Amino acid sequence: MRKVLLLGLMLFLVNAVAFAQDRVITGTVSSTEDGQGVPGATVLVKGTTIGTATDIDGRYSISVPAGNNVLVFTFVGLRSQEVSIGNRSTINVALESDITALGEVIVTGYGTQPKREVTGAVSSVKGDAIQNLPLQSFDRALQGRAAGVQVRSSNGLPGGAVNIRIRGVGSINAGNEPLFIVDGVQLNNQSNASFTQSNPLAFLNPNDIESMEILKDAASAAIYGSQAANGVVIITTKKGKQGKAKFEFNAFSGETQPLKYLDVLGGSEWYAMRRDALINSGNTAPEANSLNTMGRLPSNWASLTRAQLDALGLALPTYDWQREVIGLGRLQNYELSVSGGDDKTTFFLSGSYNYQQASIRPIDFERGTVRLALTHNASDRLSIETNINLSTFQQNVPFAVEGSFLGNPAFSASAVLPHNNPYNEDGTYNLAIAGVLGQNIVQVNDYNSGIQRTNTVVGNLITNYKILDNLTFRSLFGLDYRLLQGDNYRDPRTPDGAGVVGRSSVQSDWRTRFITTQTLNWNKSYNGVHNLSSILGIEYLSETREGISGAGIGFPTFQFRTIQSAATPESITGFWTGYRRASAFGSVNYDYKKKYLVTATARYDGSSRFGINNRYGWFPSIRVGWSLVEEEFLKSSSSVSEMKLRASYGLTGNDQIGNFAARGLYGGGGNYSGSAGILPSSLANFNLGWETNNTLNFGLDYGFFDNRVTGSLDVFDRRTKNLLLDQPILWINGFGSIANNVGELQNRGIEFEITTVNVDKNGFRWNTSFNFSKIDNQIVKLYDNLKFLPANPGIAIGQPVGRDGGGANFIALYAGVNPATGRPMWYDINGNITYLPLAADRQYFGSNLATTFGGMNNTFSYKGFEFTAFFTYEYGGIISDGQYSFLRENGTRLALNALREVNDRSWRTPGQITDIPRNLTTNAGNETRGASRNSGSAALLRSDFIRLAQVTLAYNFKPSLISKIGLSRARVYMQGLNLWTYADYPGYDPEFTGAGTGATPLTKNYTLGVQIGF
């Protein structure tokens, strides 16, 4: 004991001596994320200007003057750490990712800004949040991640369309798509695939994304002018970091499963249902007629009694067509990336392969990508940079992507009569399918084939030149090139190919977009309190699109499946279109001590799309902020760590109309008797200009308890004026509509985001992020004092528009079934019962646009284990689902199968209260002098749902453990997508867009994955 004390005293003395002089501290700065050294991190002796930077391996050595005992380690993107030196001479620190977000830098229009200084409504989604999700395009992954951003898959086609709406729907006839920018290249995200849906954004491997910023308010987006009305999504891809080459291998594989099978009737049940419908219709031989409809009437039926026939019907078998064509699929993903560099050059190189099947054969998606990001500092002043994304993906196409086609598996699987056996006894396809769906969808989808291929190059070349220390010139040249190719074969052995003895259709579609942006960035600080920066730039964009497509018919045998074998060319056509845009823009940022913040921007755009009198437009904006935490009264607060009030107002434009919409044209068409025709195709509107979004936004960013609770609150009023509306023209005047700037639409909303660290104790950490948006959408004004649009009365003042700018539901209110007779009833405009509602009885019933939506993410981590549960939700949409409507007919109009729950509810006995009418076969299943059973609001559904969109359980191996085998990082995980959905919904799934008839439903995905860094 004494020895110990003595030793301690000696050490103290030594230290005391050391304090008197400089001492050298060495060590390594690493990142907790991957355990790798952080090159270029700053090590500063607190309270001095003495500092150094870490070398390529993260090592440093610093001389600390006497009397100083604290080192500050900082690196962009990582949380700073202060470490007391004590008596150590080696200090290794591991910096954590800066998850509190407020120190982060946000990409804004043509520049970046610390999040603390952002005064607009900008949501940021980090690449980490969406990493390794088995989703083909990043837009899909945005669902539920950011307030104000509403995302819906159009269907379950991998790489299919995604409907993304930022702050509601701002346009009726022009597009509602946001502007997507990848590495400074403004993309064209229109899809023109003929044979399936191919989402152009699926070109990018989502794992190559560093961050996504969503500019929501007009003021933030206004610097993009006429492109920005629907918001802007800026994608920044991963770049190399200084340091030795880091390899990362990433793989996952798994399976897709159907979300749901519909519970439809079996063979004997369908027989009985039809029999009873025939009885209700006064048929005298209901058993025989029911059997006949099912193609099972024996030839000797006349000699059989009704009871015998009934026994035949009740003995009919049941085959599960849904499980025959809707089942499990495979998915897999492999990636390898290398990044690194020295102080002159950094690089990031990645390659990836992704494959995913839908639940319905043969639908799939297969993609390969190569990406290169390279930065080279040629001198202190000059740097060059390039980002190149090469991508090809192809999709096997089903008979049809959507619609009530007999051969469409997604349509027919639930609707084909269930007593049909898909196969004959000898295993061959049964081609005698009874009922209106007389095709064997198994055979049709096995024999037909088709493929859609999308080849994309998105790249840029950037030169930065530091003219002065505070003045940089940046020159960007970008290219967005896409070639879409497809072919589709109707096999002559299938019904649709038989008539024409096979048909091959082909398509090629090229889209080329050049963009160049030249900017000057300048900043200056006066006395350290007045900070001023500005951007000045010009931009030019040119896009052309051309295509050619054709079809040939008459094939020698089914083995010949390409168009050159066709005997007869059936059709051949092509097109060309293009547009150009020239712009100048600028912005000025000013802040006083980071306390009062002001940004003003302006853009002047000229576009070839608009009328010659109205080609140019101004898009100014202003935003102001007051950072309360910088004020003395909050600076010392221990509970408030961030508090900023924001206000902004700006103008943005929407130019998403046809390239020649302003022109009066005669186009080709109307060929007759083998010679060519022309016809007037559009009316000229010399005054046609953009529609303007004026958005007023108030926001609050907050952080409490050392940013353990952070988030923001925004309220906005977005007014779209001079709507690009297809103003109806009386048909008697020879045209259907003219593109005009009339009318006004309003989206008012509130957005709320909160992120909390609920528990952070003993290595256990629980984070929650939640966001909520509520948007009221309504039409404020039309033209000529009209209350509604003559051609589309769903477009009416005071009513919301739909997701795609379509009208509100405008139909008669369903009153259920008359309990005495089983007849369906509706309300007329006076609230009285009617069997035959008229046009005048229609009422408004909301639209398919959900009013409330958002998401919630929970992450639990403990000693390398990580558990994530992510929910999305949507409320308030009123939709019609074509597939459900067909099935809701309950087999009365057509010989289609029916939902069990619908049939169970159908009216049978007087006094029964129900919503499904009695079954009938006459008059297309409807009462004579009665509206059809799905009329009015009878078949409308609520599209509300809460979905467990993602569950991940991961384990990160300890860096110390795996470094022994040469690895810097190892992570294994299990993941599930869409595992649980809460929805009171009778169809496949409430998440779809379009009519819903025969749409391929979304899938559940299960994956197992591994990430290895070395």
Partner 1 sequence: MKLFNKAFLFLALTGTLLVSSCDSLLDVQPRQSIDANGALSTPDAMNAALNSVYAKLRSTRNYGRDLLAMSDALADVGFTTSNSGRLISENNNQPGAHFQAGFWQNSYFAINEANLILDGLTAVKGASAAQLARWEGEAKFLRALYYFDLVKVYSYIPTAIFQPGVIDQGGIPVVTVGVISSGEALGRKVARSTIDQVYAQIYKDLEDAKRLLPTGRGVQYASGAAASALLSRVALYRGDYPKVVAESTTALASSVGTVLSGSAYVNGWRSPVHPESMFEVSFALATESIGVNESLQSSYTALLNLTNKNSQGGWGDFIPNARVRNFFGLAALQIGTPATDNNNWDVTRNADVRGQLYTTGNTIRGAGRQIECTKFMSKSGFAYADNVPVIRKSEMHLNRAEANYHLKNESAALTELNAFKALRGLPAVTLSGAALLEEILLERFKEFAFEGHRFFDLKRYGRAIVKTTPAVNLAFDDFKILPPIPQREVDGNPNIKQNKGY
Q: Considering only 152-160, 333-341, 532-540, 773-781, which stretch makes contact with partner 1 by CB under 8 A?
A: 532-540
Residues pairing with 551 in the sheet: 505, 571
Please identify, using beta-carbon distances, which residue of 404 and 968 lies nearer to partner 1: 404
Cβ atoms of residues 509 and 188 within 8 Å:
no
Binding to partner 1 (CB under 8 A) within 957-976 occurs at none
Among 292, 463, 512, 614, binds partner 1 (CB under 8 A): 292
Among 648, 685, 695, 997, binds partner 1 (CB under 8 A): 685
Binding to partner 1 (CB under 8 A) within 161-190 occurs at none
Among 299, 559, 564, 638, binds partner 1 (CB under 8 A): 299
CB of 277 to partner 1, least distance (A): 12
CB of 993 to partner 1, least distance (A): 24
Please identify, using beta-carbon distances, which residue of 347 and 465 lies nearer to partner 1: 465
Please identify, using beta-carbon distances, which residue of 170 and 837 lies nearer to partner 1: 837
Among 285, 729, 754, 829, binds partner 1 (CB under 8 A): 729
Give the separation between CA 850 and CA 942, rounded to whole angstroms: 9
Closest CA to 702 of 59, 2, 195, 101: 101
Give the separation between CA 48 and CA 26, rounded to whole angstroms: 18
768 binds partner 1 (CB under 8 A): no
DSSP conformation class of 736: S
Binding to partner 1 (CB under 8 A) within 416-435 occurs at 434-435
Cβ atoms of residues 197 and 161 within 8 Å:
yes
Interface mask toward partner 1 for 463-502; x: CB under 8 A: --x-xx--x-x---------------------xx-xxx--
CB of 542 to partner 1, least distance (A): 8
Q: Which helix (H) or strand (E) holds 518?
A: strand 503-526
Please identify, using beta-carbon distances, which residue of 391 and 727 lies nearer to partner 1: 727
Binding to partner 1 (CB under 8 A) within 903-942 occurs at 922-924, 926, 928-929, 932
- In SS3 terms, 62-130 reads as EEECCCCCEEEEEECCEEEEEEECCCCCECCEEECECCCCCCCEEEECCEEEEHHHCCCCEEEEEHHHH
836 binds partner 1 (CB under 8 A): yes
Give the separation between CA 555 and CA 447, rounded to whole angstroms: 14
CB of 570 to partner 1, least distance (A): 4
523 binds partner 1 (CB under 8 A): no
Residue 608 CA: distances (Å) to CA of 294, 539, 586, 655, 658 = 59, 14, 22, 10, 11
Binding to partner 1 (CB under 8 A) within 567-596 occurs at 568, 570-571, 575-582, 584
Q: Considering only 56-64, 113-121, 367-375, 564-572, which stretch makes contact with partner 1 by CB under 8 A?
A: 564-572
Give the separation between CA 537 and CA 110, rounded to whole angstroms: 9
Please identify, using beta-carbon distances, which residue of 768 and 922 lies nearer to partner 1: 922
Among 681, 858, 912, 914, binds partner 1 (CB under 8 A): 681
Give the separation between CA 347 and CA 369, rounded to whole angstroms: 17
Binding to partner 1 (CB under 8 A) within 605-644 occurs at 606-608, 615-616
Handedness of CA 595, 211, 621, 694 (dihedral sign): negative
Surface-to-core class of residue 574, CB atoms within 10 Å of its CB (0-12 exposed, 13-18 middle, 19+ buried): exposed
558 binds partner 1 (CB under 8 A): no
Chain centroid to Cα 136, Å, comes to 10
Binding to partner 1 (CB under 8 A) within 641-670 occurs at 659-660, 663-670
Q: Which ranges in 781-823 belong to alpha helices (H)?
A: none
DSSP strand pairing (59-64 vs 23-31): antiparallel
Cβ atoms of residues 839 and 811 within 8 Å:
no
Q: Considering only 219-227, 389-397, 447-455, 732-740, which stretch makes contact with partner 1 by CB under 8 A?
A: 732-740
Q: How many helices (H) and strands (E) does the chain have?
A: 14, 52
CB of 503 to partner 1, least distance (A): 10
Please identify, using beta-carbon distances, which residue of 671 and 832 lies nearer to partner 1: 671
738 binds partner 1 (CB under 8 A): yes
284 binds partner 1 (CB under 8 A): no
Give the separation between CA 489 and CA 452, rounded to whole angstroms: 12
Q: Which residue has the tokens 């190919």?
A: 497
CB of 637 to partner 1, least distance (A): 43
441 binds partner 1 (CB under 8 A): no
824: three-class secondary structure by DSSP? strand
379 binds partner 1 (CB under 8 A): no
Binding to partner 1 (CB under 8 A) within 48-107 occurs at none
Interface mask toward partner 1 for 869-908; x: CB under 8 A: ------------------------xxx-------------
363 binds partner 1 (CB under 8 A): no
CB of 144 to partner 1, least distance (A): 39
DSSP strand pairing (179-182 vs 232-237): parallel
Please identify, using beta-carbon distances, which residue of 135 and 437 lies nearer to partner 1: 437
Residues pairing with 251 in the sheet: 334, 1010
Chain centroid to Cα 335, Å, comes to 22
Binding to partner 1 (CB under 8 A) within 789-828 occurs at 790-793
Rounded to 10 degrees, what is the CA torsion of 162, 167, 168, 174?
A: -70
Take residue 870 and report the two structure tokens written for it.
């992510």
